[in-house]
């Protein structure tokens, strides 16, 4: 597998307003803005430019830098390509909540990124929604995919997706799922990044996060709230609450078709508690793809890549070796 960076623009995505090199908080990654489709994706790159390539996609509401602690140690031997998906992080792709109906939008963006970077063969990976994005993109760019590593992907029984094809469906009502409502109500602005870290630390979904992971999430997922806030001033979430809610609600895609089309090795790591890859789905996938490795991790939760990055990294490395 190889990655041709010759035609990629050497711009750093704001913030920070710096040159080509990443700030220490992003080491060992270098951030680039890569033109795709109707805008530019902000992408973190690290590792040797030849050899195995891992493309990793983040979960809903998060960003590429959130997974730095998880992925950075792999950069000694693996080329890492970690994008901010549309509406998340530091890219500038347009994100209009009313227009989002499926995660195929994310998959098309990822496919365009693979084309732009001339990724010949890569392992596509991701967490939660990012795992489904990798799966969907892999089915459309099969010539560029060597394998899959999916961390608790959001895959539900087939009838759920069939219902999305009914007239007027394809977008969950906010009252139908608390995740949609909660996302829409998220606080969007903070006095500073330090204020955001303090607001999240030890609370809710962030209760078990190591400090360095939380700091990376805030660093990669906030932007200045106004023109005068570039240097330590007020910040707002790069992923607007309305876009996060729209993503949770958009399910007019069909991951089962992608599973049926792909003939590459795959590893699926499912959380032990509150998994978005429930046992009934795991059994169905195992019947359809008996050669795929499916492992349920006891005593873990859906956010195990952030809560237990060493465990998740070990399992990813094992999958890559396989």
Question: Among 8-17, 41-50, 196-205, 211-220, where is mean pLDDT lowest?
Answer: 8-17
Q: Name the CATH topology of 24-168+253-321.
A: Rossmann fold (3.40.50)
* CA proximity to 305, closest of 270, 264, 255, 263: 270
Question: Among 14-28, 150-164, 225-239, 258-272, where is mean pLDDT lowest?
Answer: 14-28
Q: Is the dihedral of CA 267, 292, 302, 222 positive or negative?
A: positive
Per-residue pLDDT at 18 = 34
Per-residue pLDDT at 51 = 80
Instruction: Classify 12 as helix, strand or coil.
Output: coil
Instruction: Classify 153 as helix, strand or coil.
Output: coil
Share of the chain above pLDDT 90, in %: 81
Per-residue pLDDT at 165 = 74
Cβ(320)–Cβ(125) under 8 Å?
A: no
Per-residue pLDDT at 16 = 38
pLDDT digits 0-9 by tens, 122-175: 999 999 999 999 999 999 999 999 999 999 999 999 999 988 877 665 455 544
Confidence (pTM): 0.91
Cα–Cα distance for residue pair 74/82, rounded to 1 Å: 12
Per-residue pLDDT at 17 = 36
Per-residue pLDDT at 308 = 97
Q: How confident is the model at residue 176 (pLDDT cuts 50, 70, 90)?
A: low
Per-residue pLDDT at 233 = 87
Cα–Cα distance for residue pair 171/247, rounded to 1 Å: 9
Cα–Cα distance for residue pair 68/257, rounded to 1 Å: 31
Per-residue pLDDT at 117 = 96
Statement: residue 204 has pLDDT above 60: yes
Per-residue pLDDT at 322 = 73
Statement: residue 104 has pLDDT above 70: yes
Q: Could you say which DSSP state residue 175 is in?
A: G
Question: Among 83-87, 98-102, 149-153, 164-168, where is mean pLDDT lowest?
Answer: 164-168
Per-residue pLDDT at 229 = 65
What's the rounded mean pLDDT across residues 195-224? 97
- Across all residues in the chain, what is the average pLDDT? 90
> Which residues touch 164 (CB under 8 Å, ≥6 apart)?
170, 251, 252
What's the rounded mean pLDDT across residues 206-213? 97
Cα–Cα distance for residue pair 227/240, rounded to 1 Å: 18
Cα–Cα distance for residue pair 256/260, rounded to 1 Å: 6
């Amino acid at each position: 597998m190889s990655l041709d960076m010759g035609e990629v623009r050497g711009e750093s995505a704001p913030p920070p307003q710096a040159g080509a090199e990443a700030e220490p908080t992003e080491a060992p990654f270098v951030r680039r803005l890569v033109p795709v489709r109707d805008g530019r994706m902000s992408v973190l790159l690290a590792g040797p430019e030849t050899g195995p390539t891992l493309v990793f996609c983040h979960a809903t509401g998060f960003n590429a830098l959130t997974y730095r602690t998880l992925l950075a140690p792999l950069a000694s031997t693996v080329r890492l390509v970690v994008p901010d998906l549309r509406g998340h992080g530091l890219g500038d792709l347009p994100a209009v909540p009313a227009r989002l109906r499926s995660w195929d939008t994310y998959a098309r963006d990822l496919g365009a990124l693979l084309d732009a970077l001339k990724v010949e063969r890569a392992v596509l990976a991701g967490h939660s929604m990012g795992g489904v994005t990798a799966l969907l993109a892999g089915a459309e760019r099969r010539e560029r995919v060597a394998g899959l590593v999916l961390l608790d992907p959001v895959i539900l029984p087939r009838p759920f997706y069939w219902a999305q094809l009914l007239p007027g469906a394809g977008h969950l009502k906010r009252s139908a799922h608390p995740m949609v409502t909660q996302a829409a109500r998220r606080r969007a602005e903070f006095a500073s990044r330090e204020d955001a870290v303090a607001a999240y630390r030890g609370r809710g979904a962030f209760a078990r996060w190591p400090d360095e992971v939380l700091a990376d999430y805030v660093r990669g997922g906030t932007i200045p709230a106004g023109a005068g806030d570039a240097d330590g001033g007020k910040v707002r979430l790069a992923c607007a609450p309305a876009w996060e809610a729209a993503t949770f609600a958009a399910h007019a895609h069909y991951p089962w078709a992608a599973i049926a089309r792909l003939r590459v090795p795959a590893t699926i790591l499912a959380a032990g508690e509150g998994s978005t890859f429930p046992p009934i789905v795991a059994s169905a996938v195992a019947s359809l793809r008996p050669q795929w490795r499916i492992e349920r991790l006891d005593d873990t939760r859906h956010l195990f890549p952030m809560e237990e990055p060493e465990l998740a990294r070990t399992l990813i490395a094992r999958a890559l070796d396989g």
